[in-house]
Structure 1
Amino acid sequence: MILNKADYTLYLHQDRLALGMDKGNFLRALIAPNYIWKFQKTLRKLEYYQNCKTGLFNKFMFYFIKYKFRKISLKLGFSIPPNVFGPGLSIVHYGTIVINSNTKVGKNCRIHACTNIGASGGQPEAPQIGDNVYIAPGAKIYGNIKIANNIAIGANAVVNKSFEEEGILIAGNPAKKIKAIDIKRIIKHV
């Protein structure tokens, strides 16, 4: 969670590394903007203003940033609330991504399109996901569960129970352990 200006800067830096972006140049950003990076910058700025800023002017800025955030969220198909993801978030493609606001995801998460992470059966508890987790396209993760660090979740997996063992690949419907893996081969910047 972003609690000060230093955290805000760290989160932006880690997100940039996770997306494999260089500082780039102004002309390239103007001609061919990276909308996912724009979304992530707006998300982090919204978190910063929501968690750290007070006062009348900052309140106006918060609502302006919130408006921009909603606009780009609709454009890209993302329903990602603030203060869910740790630093190093990498959203790979445009497309539907729906995340419950009670979900907590650690640092260095790589997430693909058509992913849903949420509560189950009207319960308020949502998944708690560790660090260095890869979530493949179409994964559904729901319920009051915990996912350990260094886990890869396969395409179209339905995860409805906890996985406490680190360094594994889980897949299937319902999800089960497939094999041990090295997450550094999947998430390169870790």
Structure 2
Amino acid sequence: MITSKKLYNLYLIADKKALNISSNSITDKLKNSLFPSPNWKFQKLLRKLEYHNNCKNKGVYKIYYIYLKYKYRNLSQKLGFSIPINVFGPGLSIVHYGTIVVNSAAKVGKNCRIHVCTNIGASGGSSKAPQIGDNVYIAPGAKIYGDITIANNTAIGANAVVNKSFIEENMMIAGNPAKAIKKIDINRVIQYIDTN
């Protein structure tokens, strides 16, 4: 969770790295200004809203916070995202825009790579949602729901239905219902991290 300006900047750096957005050269800067990534725009706004919600939500800043919420809601609807604040750790990579629905009670660690048509939610009217570790890859169409825990360094396969906990690290899980398939090296799946 972003609790200071320093953490806010660290989250932005980690997210930018995760999305492979470079601004080192003049060409990169020109490309980013002429053809901005909608997902990067969304993630920057997500982090800014988190920072203002957690750190600067009083007095005169309240007006700016309300404005950010308005912008965030509009961009979320445009891209098909229903992602509440303070759920994802640093290093988030939303690969494509399209339907992604996340429950506000869910918690996802650092370096999550998430694809379209995914859902992370509660189950059966419960307020408890998945608690997902660090370095987790969520493939297109995955449904993760209920009072469950997903271990660090896990890859969740396309269209998997995950409704029970998986506490063993370095595993690929897939299927309906999901089951452990095989051991994996998460660095081969999420290439911008270094778990060694």
Does TM-score exceed 0.5, indicating one fold?
A: yes
CA deviations on 1:14-60 (whole Å, 9 max, x unpaired) are: 000000110231x4233212110000000000000000014322101
Please tell me the residue identity of whatever aligns with 1:16: K
Give the AA of the match of 1:99: V
Amino acid at match of 1:15: D
Give the SS at the match of 1:56.
coil
User: Matched residues in 1 for 2:189 and 2:80: separation?
Assistant: 24
CA root-mean-square deviation: 0.8
Q: 2:170 pairs with 156, 167, 171, which one?
A: 167
State how many pairs are aligned.
189
The one-letter code of the counterpart of 1:184 is N
Q: Which residue number corresponds to residue 13 of structure 1?
A: 13
Give the aligned residue type for 2:52: Y
1:121-169 deviation per Cα after TM superposition (whole angstroms, max 9, x unaligned): 0000000000000000000000000000000000000000000000000
Q: How does 1:1-190 map to 2 (within 5 A)?
A: 1-23=1-23, 24-25=28-29, 27-190=30-193
Indicate the SS of the match to 2:66.
helix
- SS of structure 2 residue aligned to 1:116: strand
- Structure 2: which 5+ residue stretches go unaligned? none
Structure 1 residue 74: Cα displacement: 0.6
Distance 1:30 1:126 in 2: 38
Q: How far apart, in 2, do the equivalents of 1:161 and 1:55 lie?
A: 40
Name structure 1 gaps, 5 residues minimum.
none
Q: Give the Cα–Cα distance (whole angstroms) in 1 for the partners of residues 152 and 119 of structure 2.
A: 19
2:164 and 2:42 mapped to 1: Cα distance?
A: 31
Query: Equivalents in 2 of 1:55, 1:93: separation in Å?
Result: 34
TM-score, normalized by length of structure 2? 0.95
> Structure 2: how far apart are the matches of 1:112 and 1:78?
11
CA distance in 1, matches of 2:129, 2:167: 16
Structure 1 distance, partners of 2:189, 2:110, is 15
How many Å separate the matches in 2 of 1:128 and 1:29? 34
Distance 2:21 2:125 in 1: 39
Partner secondary structure for residue 60 of structure 2: helix
Q: Which runs of 4+ in 1 moved over 2 A?
A: 27-31
Letter in 1 for 2:188: R
Which amino acid counterpart does residue 123 of structure 2 have in structure 1? S
- Which amino acid counterpart does residue 142 of structure 1 have in structure 2? Y
CA contact (8 A) 2:130 2:148 kept: yes
Determine the C-alpha separation between the residues in 2 that align with 1:141 and 1:174. 10
Equivalent residues of 2:57, 2:65 under 8 A apart: no
Please give the TM-score of this superposition, normalised by the length of structure 1: 0.98
